[in-house]
Structure 1
Amino acid sequence: MKRALLVIDVQNEYFSDNFPVEYPPTRVTLPHIGQAIDAARAADIPIVVVQHSAPAGSPIFAKGSSGWELHPEVARRGHDHLVEKTKASSFSGTDLREWLAARGIDTLTIVGYMTHNCDAATTFDAAHAGLSVEILSDASGSLPYANRAGSATAEEIHRVFTVVFQSNFGAVMSTAEWLESVRQGRAPERDNILMSNRRARGVA
């Protein structure tokens, strides 16, 4: 197993009143993101920082705006590679796939925002590309939605997406669990859709 840590869209926009991540709150997730970066650096795990860019004048993530900038806690820690993206997946229109392949990386650990959007799109693309995926549930987060399809709280969105990730696409764990996994050099617990469904139905 050869890991890389992917730090997705930890940008000022999510810490503003304009577009705030709500669950888990950023006061919880940001320190965990910092812990993961520091641990990766200490363990010689490559760190890839992803930055979402939108055209000038866009209401969120307008390139060059203060909201577009990386949060200082990520910017000050440095990285091994920077990916600038314009779509949800960190793989779409970027060199990420080639960069990982050139270094023999087979496992991607994901932190950052948002659980249900850019983290999800990246998780699905990585899993479909044959990479093992790890998602740190207390180092990622969601915000609430309401539209013609209905409404959902940030907690509901985050919880449901992490359950779905664990069922088929990756291993969901806390930052503390991941740190222990790195320390011991062991793979995390994975699951499958059949057993996830059987447990929910109370079927042995």
Structure 2
Amino acid sequence: MQRALIVIDVQNEYVTGNLPIGYPDVGESLDNIAAAMDAATGAGVPVVVVQHAAPENSPIFARGSEGFALHPTVAGRPFDHLVEKALASSFDGTDLADWLAAKGVDTLTIAGYMTQNCDESTARDAASRGLTVEFLSDATGTLAMSNNAGSVSAEELHRHVLVVMATNFASVVTTDEWIGALHKGEPLECPNLIASTEAGREEAVRRSNARSVA
């Protein structure tokens, strides 16, 4: 097993800019991103930093703007490769796949922002390319969304994506759990669609019974 840690779009836009992360608390997720980067570097695991870039007239991530800049949590730490992207997946239009292949990476660990957008897109893309994917639940994050399809809180959105990831696409763990596995050189428990659906049915029955009693 050869891991790489990918730190996606940890830029000022998500901290002091127009897209402030709402859940988990951005200070918490930044601390966990820092811990994951430090642990990876200490263990000789390559670290890839991804930076989203938009045209200079864009309201978010405008190239050269303060929002575009990497947050000091990431900018002040060593990393092995910088990927600049313009789309959601870190693989689209970049050299990421070739770089990972050249390093012999078969397991990609995801941290950064946003949970349901660039994180999830990268995770799904990595899984479809045959990579094992790990998703750090407390080193990722998102914000509340509302549009003509409905509204969802940052916490609901984050948790729902984690559940989906853990069914079929990625092993979802906390940063501390990941660091523990890293130090032991162990793989994480794989996502399990069958177990997730069985547990889901059991939970649905439990809730139905509880409503009947009430």
Common topology (TM > 0.5): yes
2:163 alignment partner, SS class: helix
d(CA) in 1 for partners of 2:157, 2:58? 25
d(CA) in 2 for partners of 1:114, 1:19? 10
Larger Rg: 2
CA contact (8 A) 2:6 2:109 kept: yes
> Where does 1:73-88 land on structure 2 (aligned, <5 Å)?
73-88=73-88
Q: Which runs of 5+ in 2 are unaligned?
A: 204-214
d(CA) in 1 for partners of 2:150, 2:63? 31
d(CA) in 1 for partners of 2:46, 2:163? 27
Which stretch of structure 1 is more off in the superposition, 17-26 or 79-88?
A: 17-26
Question: Cα distance, 1:191 vs. partner?
Answer: 2.6
1:138 alignment partner, SS class: strand
Aligned partner letter, 2:80:
D
d(CA) in 1 for partners of 2:131, 2:8? 17
- 1:70 corresponds to: 70
Alignment CA distance shift 1:84-1:121 (3 Å)? same
CA contact (8 A) 2:108 2:132 kept: yes
- 1:120 corresponds to: 120
> Where does 1:10-49 land on structure 2 (aligned, <5 Å)?
10-49=10-49
Question: Cα distance, 1:78 vs. partner?
Answer: 2.2
> Where does 1:86-125 land on structure 2 (aligned, <5 Å)?
86-125=86-125
d(CA) in 2 for partners of 1:199, 1:191? 13
Question: Cα distance, 1:54 vs. partner?
Answer: 0.4
Question: Cα distance, 1:194 vs. partner?
Answer: 1.8
Aligned partner letter, 2:35:
Q
**CA deviation vs aligned residue, 1:21-77 (integer Å, no higher than 9, x gap):** 100011110000000000000000001000000001101000000000000110010
Superposition misfits of 4+ residues, deviation over 6 angstroms: none
Question: Cα distance, 1:79 vs. partner?
Answer: 1.0
TM-score (norm 2): 0.93
TM-score (norm 1): 0.98
Two-structure CA RMSD over aligned residues (Å): 0.9
d(CA) in 2 for partners of 1:162, 1:194? 16
CA contact (8 A) 2:17 2:67 kept: no
CA contact (8 A) 2:137 2:172 kept: yes
Aligned partner letter, 1:61:
F
Aligned partner letter, 1:102:
A
Aligned partner letter, 2:94:
T
Whether 2:163 is the aligned partner of 1:169: answer no
Aligned partner letter, 2:64:
G
Question: Cα distance, 1:18 vs. partner?
Answer: 1.8
1:62 alignment partner, SS class: coil
CA contact (8 A) 2:168 2:193 kept: yes
Paired residues, number? 203
d(CA) in 1 for partners of 2:62, 2:193? 39
d(CA) in 2 for partners of 1:95, 1:75? 20
Question: Cα distance, 1:17 vs. partner?
Answer: 5.0
Q: Which runs of 5+ in 1 are unaligned?
A: none
